[in-house]
Amino acid sequence: MKARMREALFAFWRHLPAGLRRRAAHAALDRLRPRLADIMLDDVRGRDVPKIVAGFLSAPSGLGRSARLAAAALEAEGHRVYGIDLSGWFHEQTQMISWPWPDGRTVMGPSHVTVVVNGPYMPYALRLLGRRFLKSKYITGYWAWELERLPESWRRGFACVHDIAVPSRFVAEAVRAMAREIAREGKGAQKSVRVAPHPVALDAPDASTAPDAPAATAAPEAPAHARPRTPDAPFTIASVASIASGFARKNPLALIEAFERAFPEPDPARVRLSLLLTNTEHYPPARPAIDAACAGRPDIAIAWAPLAPEALARWLARADLYAALHRSEGFGLPLAEAMLAGIPVMATGWSGNVDFMDERNSLLVDYRLVPVRDPQGKYPEGADHWAEPDIDHAARLLRAAAADPARLAALAAEGRRTARARLNPARFTKALLDLAHLPHT
């Protein structure tokens, strides 16, 4: 009954104008600000202290994947881990993915809680957790953002956390800038912000760079490994994008255009573009625009429904190259996961993905910075900049990639080595928990 009522409320909410939804949500959030427990990180630092991850644990979104990775990394490093699924209360798709950790709501004593919900919605997330639960809890917000500056709405999140972790240097710069502003204005102490990269290398037994670190246990959803190349198979370029994360930002139309310029004559037996584009209901103009861009191209295949982890791994394993011409990424989880799977990657050479992508391990597409233009309304119009990828350069890279399997194999090998070395549970957990060994902001 509660689930049906919640779905009815969300259906009504989605039909309201975006501006009205935003104003109403922000007004409500300002009334929900919780009071943090007066607790020091040292009080909850030990391995015997429970570590709780709250977020979209059963949802197939990027934030859901982020929460599951955080919990799995903590568990791999020997911590006692609990989970709290908030998916249903944030209109996320629920129950698509199982998660193995016990219910964190039962933990009432001191513990470290990592909330994988972005800044503006932290008051709502903590209100869902409840005042009784928050007693004796140390709260870390694990946040991601995709532009160089945070919107003003993120300010409310700083009062809801003891400290903040982010997946990339790109995000850290934006969060630290607002943290300094808040401190200068005398509206709160400056929060510590550190980079804890997503531990996508959880499936690799040698993922940790520390020689005495324990081997990582398998993540709940381990990436596939690239398929052996067969002479009669078409060269396959794959890409995944959730339209809920931003149609303009994910920019699938640019990849379609680059593919069509690279291979102007359709030849499905030789080369193809395979797209997984989900959540188009979040922006109805997206699907007809994509259909129009692909018209007359039998070498472009599109799937519209989210895939369970095992099916997604099988789908990805058919790729010879993973490509994304994004305008901005807070991190770029699909890119990192493709690298770990032994698949060479191509992407715009700007924002969070350049923490782990470089000229030695991937194909980086040239770009220029332009003012943000987002008809979907997820990002402030003109208030910031993002990258406009060079489609001609991308087309040249695609043609060269299809013609040079030896270079792609070298990129794939170096990419996998990079992902293992930089994106492992030991590095993530140390950054998340061990402030004593990290510089202050």
Token duo for residue 386: 């993002």
Asked, for residue 153, whether it belongs to a domain, the answer is yes
Asked if 364 and 357 count as a contact pair (C-beta separation under 8 A), the reply is yes
Where do the DSSP E strands lie in 260-400? 271-278, 300-303, 321-324, 345-348, 363-365, 367-371, 385-389
Q: Are strands 51-55 and 81-85 parallel, antiparallel or unpaired?
A: parallel
Three-class secondary structure of residue 212 per DSSP? coil
DSSP string, 42-57: GGG-STTS-EEEEE-T
Tens place of pLDDT for every residue, the chain, 441 residues?
555 655 555 555 455 565 555 555 555 555 656 678 788 777 787 888 999 999 999 988 889 999 999 999 999 999 999 999 998 888 666 666 888 999 999 998 899 999 999 999 999 999 999 989 998 899 999 999 999 999 999 999 999 999 999 999 999 999 999 999 999 999 888 899 999 999 999 865 443 333 333 333 333 343 344 445 566 789 999 999 999 999 999 999 999 999 999 999 999 999 999 999 999 999 999 999 999 999 999 999 999 998 888 888 899 999 999 999 999 999 999 999 999 999 999 999 999 999 999 999 999 999 999 999 999 998 987 778 999 999 999 999 999 999 999 999 999 999 999 999 999 999 999 999 874 443 333
Beta bridge partners of 273: 237, 300
Indicate if 326 and 340 belong to the same structural domain.
yes
Domain that includes residue 324, residue range: 235-422
Instruction: Tell me if 324 sits within 8 A of 241, measured CB to CB.
Output: yes
Q: Is 148 left (phi over 0), alpha (psi -120 to 50) or beta?
A: alpha
Residues 284 and 195 both lie in one domain: no
Q: What is the DSSP letter of 88?
A: G
pTM confidence score: 0.85
Q: Please state, in angstroms and rounded to a whole number, the distance separating the CA atoms of residues 379 and 249.
A: 9
Q: Are residues 188 and 240 in the same domain?
A: no
Cα 207 to chain centroid, rounded: 20
DSSP string of 100-127? -SPBGGG--SSEEEEE-S-GGGHHHHHH
User: Is residue 205 domain-resident?
Assistant: no
Statement to judge: residues 299 and 331 lie in one domain: yes
Whether residue 179 lies inside any domain: the answer is yes
Cα 405 from chain centre? 29
Region class of 91: left (phi > 0), else alpha (psi between -120 and 50), else beta: left
User: In this structure, how many other beta carbons lie within 10 angstroms of the beta carbon of residue 190?
Assistant: 15
CATH number at residue 352: 3.40.50.2000
Q: How many domains does the chain have?
A: 2
C-alpha pair distances (Å), 68 with each of 61, 105, 270, 296: 11, 17, 38, 40
- pLDDT confidence of residue 438: 38
User: Residue 153 belongs to a domain with what CATH number?
Assistant: 3.40.50.11930
pLDDT of residue 213: 34
Give the strand pairing for 367-371 and 385-389.
Answer: antiparallel
